[in-house]
Chain A
Amino acid sequence: MSLSNHLPALQVVIPLVSAPIALLIRQRHLAWALMMVVSWLSLAISVLLWLQVSDGSVISYAIGAWPPPWGIEYRVDSLNAFILVLISGTAALVVPFSLHSIEHDMHQQQHYLFHTMFALCLAGLLGITITGDAFNVFVFLEISSLSTYVLIALSRRRQALVASFQYLMMGTIGATLIVVGIGLLYLLTGSLNIADMGTRLSTLPPSRAVYTALAFLSIGLSLKLALFPLHQWLPNAYADAPSAVSAFLAATATKVAIYVLLRFYFDVFGLPRLNEAGILPLLMALAIAAMFVASAIAIAQSDLKGLFAFSSVAQVGYIMLGVGISNDTGLTAALLHIFNHGITKGATFLLLGIVMYAIGSTDLSRLRGIGRLMPLTSAGLLLCGLSLIGIPGTSGFISKWYLVLAALEAGHGWLAFVIVVSSMLAVAYVWKFVEVAYLQEPDAGAHLQRKPVLTMALPTTVLCAATLYFGLDTRFSLGAASAAAKVLLSGVGGVTP
């Protein structure tokens, strides 16, 4: 067997093994160099996997050569290959950014620990996405969550400790509810393989146990993906974490949880059963609440990190709205927004990392006239803000456009109206930044504490360019999202396109 047959395993094993190596190296520059190699290798592997499945085929990899459904199966199709590219792509850009950005976020002797935990977190997120085994999802979920708690707590700010503890509480409750859901499904079907579970479940009559499993999984995953009103952990975790961590989490963590939700909803339960249970209207109601309430709270924030963290909760609402509409266009819109919002928010938090590095704060009261002090960074933040609003020409517009189309297609004209009105709230919170940055004079004698360095500027520029590029050329993102949506809808009991 050649090495290319083992790509699915290598995708997870390389970052997983690099974690203890980084721990043993103990030297911060070597650990960083190792992470550079690992993250770019991961990106290369996920792009290769994506190319292999882009014709609609499915890669099934049996771990330890135990055939599924008995052994653990790694399963790559056009849905999760797309998410893998997003995760490893973000990692490949955040790692170079982290070299200088973490210098002022944490003590120097802790840098190798940052790289160790980052490797574990990457392995966990990639593992959740690639595995086809329900219990394996939980194990990787905990690997990524535990390392995330440490990454947040590594910050020099003491508030980060409290944020990390709160996230640990909420995250563990969420993960435990997910295991209960998986356990009930296992008791019902006698299988842990997600695809096998779905086939077996479709032959069972509807019962209270099925709905109980659905309820446990929905609530557990809603906690993890920060669906309003279960988002309490997210704003503090994003705002207090080291900048590089905020950027990585904002771009990937909640997106992976949404992916798991989609997998369980459409591949295990299947659309007919979801309609029977009546859970999709509930999701839509919560999504709409998130779009309005979280955006309104974002307007009231005085710190940019907090502002954009609440905006993340609102944007998760748009994604879940697409899931709730659950027609072909709705799921395409949801997956598009996972990707587009991932790169936009990744870029936003990288830019905030640069602001933090140069000014030492992201509090709006300290950023007066920043448009003149840091013209490029401010322009980048403005671009990301426009993408969050959904202005044509940015990637955010594309996903919102498809969301509106999906609403109209499903016959919910009012929903299209709701989407447009809630975007006005995004205008309000982006305006807060514009006002401070461009319409106010810099304080007398205001200057940059440090000049941003190339390792920070380059990855940020790439993500900002991506935010713009995917708003103009949608061939990759739209093609991948609609292929992934087809995979979901062809799941159990669905219609084959």
Chain B
Amino acid sequence: MSFAAYFTYIVTYLLMTAGLFIVIARGNLIKKLIGLGIFQSSVYLLYIGPAKLIGGTAPVLATGYSVYSNPLPHVLILTAIVVGVATLALGLALVVRIREAYGSIEEDEVLAEDKANTSTTGHA
């Protein structure tokens, strides 16, 4: 139960917290997406870390090898990476559209313009 045994978990939760903090604390939509990317990546580590055995090989039966890494988490995370890429791509596409529509990618400016707009149309 040493520090080394928990190393991947510590890194995972550090990255997770850092990513979530960026998402909440930054107003720039691109920076928010970067935070979201870090947040998602931390989960990859959570799955991959425990699946890797030091000295373990790919699970292919061969003479001389008896320690294998678990391939299942790797495959799961391959799927999660694809999902993560799709999410980021969609997020960035939305930011492009938001910039075209509002001329800004700062959350407070966009929301302020929405507010100003609804208060004028509301009385029309």
Q: Mark B62-105, 1 if CB is under 8 A from A, else 0.
A: 00000000001100100110010011001100110110011000
Q: Is the beta-carbon distance between B86 and A169 smaller than 8 angstroms?
A: no
What residues of B have a CB within 8 angstroms of the CB of A173 in the complex?
Answer: 20, 23, 36, 39
Q: Is the beta-carbon distance between A180 and B23 smaller than 8 angstroms?
A: no
A291 touches B (CB below 8 Å): no
For B101, the closest partner residue in chain A by CB is: A158
Q: Is the beta-carbon distance between B110 and A162 smaller than 8 angstroms?
A: yes
Tell me which residues from 294 to 336 in chain A have a Cβ below 8 Å from any Cβ of chain B. 302
Distance in Å: Cβ of A72 to nearest Cβ of chain B: 12
What residues of B have a CB within 8 angstroms of the CB of A192 in the complex?
Answer: 72
B34 touches A (CB below 8 Å): no
Q: Is the beta-carbon distance between B40 and A172 smaller than 8 angstroms?
A: yes
| Cross-interface CB contact of A153 among B23, B32, B94, B110, cutoff 8 Å | B94
Q: How far is the CA of A365 from the CA of B73 in the complex (A)?
A: 55
A161 touches B (CB below 8 Å): yes
A399 touches B (CB below 8 Å): no
B50 touches A (CB below 8 Å): yes
Distance in Å: Cβ of A385 to nearest Cβ of chain B: 23
Q: Is the beta-carbon distance between B98 and A161 smaller than 8 angstroms?
A: yes
Query: At the interface with chain B, which of A142-150, A246-254, A389-397, A479-487?
Result: A142-150
Distance in Å: Cβ of B48 to nearest Cβ of chain A: 10
Q: Is the beta-carbon distance between B90 and A168 smaller than 8 angstroms?
A: yes
What size tier do the contact residues of chain B reach? 20 to 34
Q: Mark A202-228, 1 if CB is under 8 A from B, else 0.
A: 000000000000000000000000000
A126 touches B (CB below 8 Å): no
Q: How many residues of A contact B (CB 8 A)?
A: 29
What residues of B have a CB within 8 angstroms of the CB of A135 in the complex?
Answer: 76, 79
Q: Is the beta-carbon distance between A161 and B43 smaller than 8 angstroms?
A: no
A139 touches B (CB below 8 Å): yes
For A164, the closest partner residue in chain B by CB is: B94
B55 touches A (CB below 8 Å): no
Distance in Å: Cβ of A63 to nearest Cβ of chain B: 14
Distance in Å: Cβ of B123 to nearest Cβ of chain A: 9
Q: Is the beta-carbon distance between A149 and B90 smaller than 8 angstroms?
A: yes
What residues of B have a CB within 8 angstroms of the CB of A365 in the complex?
Answer: 122
Distance in Å: Cβ of B16 to nearest Cβ of chain A: 8
Q: How far is the CA of A262 from the CA of B72 in the complex (A)?
A: 26
Q: Is the beta-carbon distance between A183 and B43 smaller than 8 angstroms?
A: yes
Q: How far is the CA of A308 from the CA of B3 in the complex (A)?
A: 52
Q: Is the beta-carbon distance between B36 and A172 smaller than 8 angstroms?
A: yes
Given A162-B114, A365-B122, residue A139 in contact with residue B79 (CB < 8 A) = yes
Q: How far is the CA of A159 from the CA of B102 in the complex (A)?
A: 10
Distance in Å: Cβ of B53 to nearest Cβ of chain A: 14
What residues of B have a CB within 8 angstroms of the CB of A184 in the complex?
Answer: 46
What residues of B have a CB within 8 angstroms of the CB of A159 in the complex?
Answer: 114
Distance in Å: Cβ of A128 to nearest Cβ of chain B: 14
| Cross-interface CB contact of B23 among A142, A162, A169, A363, cutoff 8 Å | A169
| Cross-interface CB contact of A165 among B72, B83, B91, B122, cutoff 8 Å | B91
Q: Is the beta-carbon distance between A162 and B20 smaller than 8 angstroms?
A: no
Residues of B within 8 A of A (CB): 16, 20, 23, 29, 32, 36, 39-40, 43, 46-47, 50, 72-73, 76, 79-80, 83, 86-87, 90-91, 94-95, 97-98, 101-102, 110-111, 114, 122
Residues of A within 8 A of B (CB): 135, 138-139, 142, 146, 149-150, 153, 158-159, 161-162, 164-165, 168-169, 172-173, 176, 179-180, 183-184, 186-187, 192, 302, 363, 365
The list of the 3 closest CB pairs from A to B, nearest first, reads A158-B101, A142-B83, A165-B94
What are 29 sample pairs from A and B whose C-beta atoms fall under 8 A apart?
Answer: A135-B76, A138-B80, A142-B83, A142-B87, A146-B83, A146-B86, A149-B90, A153-B94, A153-B97, A158-B102, A159-B114, A161-B94, A161-B101, A162-B110, A162-B111, A165-B29, A165-B94, A165-B95, A168-B90, A169-B23, A169-B32, A172-B40, A172-B87, A173-B23, A176-B43, A179-B80, A180-B46, A183-B47, A302-B122
